[in-house]
Each structure stands twice: as C-alpha cells, then as structure tokens.
Amino acid sequence: MLQREFNFRALMVKDESGRYRHATGDEIIEAALSEINRRFARGVAITSPSETLEFLRLRLGPLEHEVFAVLWLDYKHRVLAFEELFRGTIDGASVYPREIVKSALRHNAAACILCHNHPSGVTDPSSADQNITGHIKEALRLIEVRTLDHVIVGEIPYSFAEHGLL
C-alpha cells in the first residue's frame, strides 16, 4: 500500500459563504469515500489489486462490527455492484452461501471478490473463514461465477488469492 503524508492544514473546503477554511477530518474522509465510490461505480473495470484493497479498506475498515460483502463483476471484471450481505457482531457474522448465490443471479454476475472485515484489525484467516470461502466458491462455481479473491479487511488487508488459498 502506498504511504502518503498529508498536511491536513493545507486541505481546504469552501463554506456556505464562499470563504475557504481548513477541512475537518470527517470532511476529508467523506470526500475520499466519494472519490473511491466514483472509481468503483457500476461499469468501471477493476484493473488494480491495490486500488481494490484500498476501496475495501475504506468501506469496511472503520466498522465496529463484522460485515460480509461482495464486489460483483461482469465477465470483463467491470463493477456491477458492491453489496453488504451479512452483518454480525464484533467477532463474527453468519454467512449463508445460498443467499450469496441468489445475489449473484440477481446481479447477473460472472465473477466476484468476497470480503469481510475483522474489527480487531487482525486479518489472519480463521478456519471458519477458510471453510466458508470454500463453500461459497463451490456454490458459485455451480452457477458459473468465478471467485477471484476473498479479502479480509483490517490493519493490513489479507488476500486469499495472494496467499494461494483460492
């Protein structure tokens, strides 16, 4: 991941009266999320694994509870949708492959990137993470949807594909 140093005192926003003032942290985060959502809007091709990891980190990283989501893609790896499918507690979420298959069919997806966050920040995959990934991958394979990756979001995102677990 690219490390950048920002001088927050230099980032300015225009207020209602037309005068410029220093941006707050929340305004900076809101603007960043708006830009990243624009980059991952429907029809945009996924071309950079690092941008994908950054998008997922921004979307799921700040959450205090586990969320399991899927980035649905067409056959050219263009974004169809980002869908949060399951919400859990601070240390787990129930995930149902049947519901993921239904969502894939609804979006007419050809491929997907599975993702969920670990609010603890520790991204080592548990045996449950590995098992559910296998079940989901097999269920999606039956309807000809490729599972490109499963990313666990935390302090340092963990990619199943990069670690040879897919």
**Residue 55 lies in domain:** 46-159
> Is residue 6 predicted with pLDDT exceeding 60?
no
The amino acid sitting at 27 is E
Length of the chain: 166
Determine the pLDDT at residue 1.
41
Residues 91 and 147 in one domain: yes
* Weakest-pLDDT range from 27-31, 81-85, 86-90, 101-105: 27-31
Q: Clarify whether residues 22 and 82 are in a common domain.
A: no
20 with 81, same domain: the answer is no
In a domain, 4, yes or no: no
| β-sheet with 79-87: strand ranges across | 79-87, 67-73, 111-117, 146-153, 158-159
Query: Which range is most confident: 73-77, 91-95, 118-122, 137-141?
Result: 137-141
Same domain flag for 69 and 29: no
Residues 86 and 14 in one domain: no
Reference 68, options 30, 37, 36, 100; nearest CA is 100
Backbone angles phi, psi at 69, to 5 degrees: -135, 165
pLDDT value for 13: 79
Residues 80 and 31 in one domain: no
Pair (111, 88) in one structural domain: yes
pLDDT grade for 2, boundaries at 50, 70 and 90: very low
Output the pLDDT for position 80. Answer: 94
- The answer on pLDDT for 3 being more than 70 is no
**CA count, 13 A, side-chain hemisphere, 159:** 16
In a domain, 3, yes or no: no
Residue 104 lies in a domain: yes
Say yes or no: 22 and 53 in one domain. no
Let me know whether 26 and 90 are in one domain. no
Tell me: do 60 and 133 sit in the same domain.
yes
Q: Note whether residue 1 is domain-resident.
A: no
Total number of domains in the chain: 2
pLDDT surpassing 50 at residue 57 = yes
Q: Give the C-alpha distances (Å, rounded to integers) separating 79 from 27, 108, 133.
A: 26, 11, 21
- Within 10 A of 35 (CB to CB), how many other CB atoms are there? 11
State the CATH number of the domain containing residue 121: 3.40.140.10
Q: 46-77 burial, b for 16+ CB within 10 Å, e for fewer?
A: beebeebbbbbbbbbbeeeebbbbbbbbbeeb
Regarding whether 97 and 23 lie in a shared domain, the answer is no
In terms of domains, do 78 and 61 share one?
yes
Record the tokens describing residue 151, joined without a space.
């990313």
